[in-house]
Each structure stands twice: as C-alpha cells, then as structure tokens.
Amino acid sequence: IIHAQTSLTMYYNYIIRQQSFVQIFFYEDRNFQGLHYECSGDCPELSSHFSRCNSIRVESGAWVVYERPNYMGSQYILTRGEYPDYQRWMGYNDTIRSCRIIRHTTGMHRIRVYERPDFAGQMIEFSEDSPNLSERFRHPEVHSANVLDGAWVFYEHPNYRGRQHLLERGEYRRHTEWGGMQANVGSLRRVPGLLDHPCHTDVGS
C-alpha cells in the first residue's frame, strides 16, 4: 500500500511539473516563418500579438485554439507537434484569436454518449478512440454526453474530420453545451494525457 501511495504521489507531482511547462508558438506565415508569439497559458485575446496565424508549434501540453476571442467560434485541438499550415489542424482560414490549455488530461479516459438529451435513450461507453461512431452507436446523432475521465474530442464526420468540439470532465445535457450547432458526431478521440507524451501526426493517419 505504501508503495502504491508513493507511486501515486510521484504521478501527481509529475503532472504538476509538466503543466507548469506548457508552451505553444504561433507563426504568422507558413512553415514557422515570419513574426511569432510564444504563449504558456490561457489567452482570451491574441489579436494584439499577431494578425494572422498560418503555422503552429506545440512544444508541450494539449491546447484548444479558437477562431474568435474569448474562447468562441470554431475550435481546434492541438497536441505536441508541428503544424506547418492551418490545414494541418483542419482550420478553415488563418484566423486564431484565443487559446487555452486543456487541463483535464489523465492516463484514463471514459466517456458515455447518449441517444437523447438529458442522458436518455441508448447509451454506450467508450474508453478508446472511435474513428467511425456508427459502427458501435446505431444513431447518427449524439444529444448528450458524460465525460467520466480525461478529455475528448467530438468530430463532425468519421475518421476525425469536420468540426471539432472539446469535452472535458463533466456532464453535457444537450449538444449545445459542448458548442455544437447540430448533434452530428461521426468520430471521437481521446486527448492524450501528459504521461502519454503525445506527438502530432497527420489527421486520419
């Protein structure tokens, strides 16, 4: 028991240290060229630091960046790695106006998705990525969700394509609570934990 408690303490100490070193770089031009801005924390307004964003380098941590200020508009989830142009994070343009750290990343991931609002109808629980939700969930729409562990990304289409929505630990009684204009969810993916040492690869690979 003492050994288990020591291991758990070391785990949480590691998480705290890693969260203090999160870092992301925004570049105005493609391939990490032009003016750049370094960020190590939540920022509700980025337009004072750069006018456009065509490439991003994530040195550490997991981030969600937004098309509009104050964490509004289209969102894109980024893990450690290089994104030499905005198509690599599935962006629609070169506009990034706010960003924040994804803090609810752990070694465990569990999410329950529901057919209807308020956790009604068919329910299925996931603990792994699902590139095609329809293979396990017979309904084309997800109207509510409960994130039990970790952080997750909902994608509009299968194979991690289309609009992205971040879901952190907690209850979402309607799709509007995770920012969805519609309830379509084609695939879902875990946000890697700090101990997973995530590194970005091309979407769909």
> Which CATH number belongs to the domain containing residue 91 in this structure?
2.60.20.10
Same domain, 30 and 96: yes
pLDDT of residue 147: 97
Given 66, 101, 136, the domain boundary residue is: 101
Which tokens is 191 given? 């946000």
pLDDT of residue 54: 98
Position 201 pLDDT exceeds 50 = no
Same domain, 50 and 82: yes
Same domain, 122 and 92: no
Same domain, 125 and 175: yes
Assess if residue 175 is contained within a domain. Answer: yes
Same domain, 124 and 170: yes
pLDDT of residue 205: 35
Q: Pick the more confident residue, 196 or 190.
A: 190
Q: Would you say 153 and 180 are in contact if contact means Cβ atoms under 8 Å apart? A: no
Same domain, 96 and 21: yes
pLDDT band at 10 (very low <50, low <70, confident <90, very high): low
pLDDT of residue 135: 93
Same domain, 66 and 7: yes
Position 194 pLDDT exceeds 70 = no
The rounded distance, in Å, linking the Cα atoms of 56 and 72 is 19
Assess if residue 204 is contained within a domain. Answer: no
Same domain, 95 and 142: no
**How many distinct structural domains can be found in the chain?**
2
pLDDT of residue 4: 58
The pTM score is: 0.83
Which tokens is 205 given? 């690979």
Given 74, 101, 128, the domain boundary residue is: 101
Q: Measure Cα distances from 123 to 2, 146, 166, 190 in Å.
A: 38, 10, 20, 18
pLDDT of residue 178: 97
Q: Pick the more confident residue, 79 or 20.
A: 79
List the domain range (segments joined by +) for residue 161: 110-196
Assess if residue 90 is contained within a domain. Answer: yes
Position 17 pLDDT exceeds 80 = no
- Helix, strand, or coil here: 202? coil
Q: Which residues contact 108 (CB under 8 A, 6 or more apart)?
A: 127, 149, 150
Assess if residue 38 is contained within a domain. Answer: yes
Given 71, 101, 131, the domain boundary residue is: 101
Same domain, 141 and 182: yes
Print burial letters for 72-98: b (CB count within 10 Å at least 16), e (below 16): eebbbbbbbeebeebebbbbeebbbbb
Position 87 pLDDT exceeds 60 = yes
Assess if residue 122 is contained within a domain. Answer: yes
pLDDT in tens, 115-161: 999 999 999 999 999 999 999 998 889 999 999 999 999 999 999 99
Assess if residue 201 is contained within a domain. Answer: no
pLDDT of residue 169: 95
Assess if residue 148 is contained within a domain. Answer: yes
pLDDT of residue 34: 96
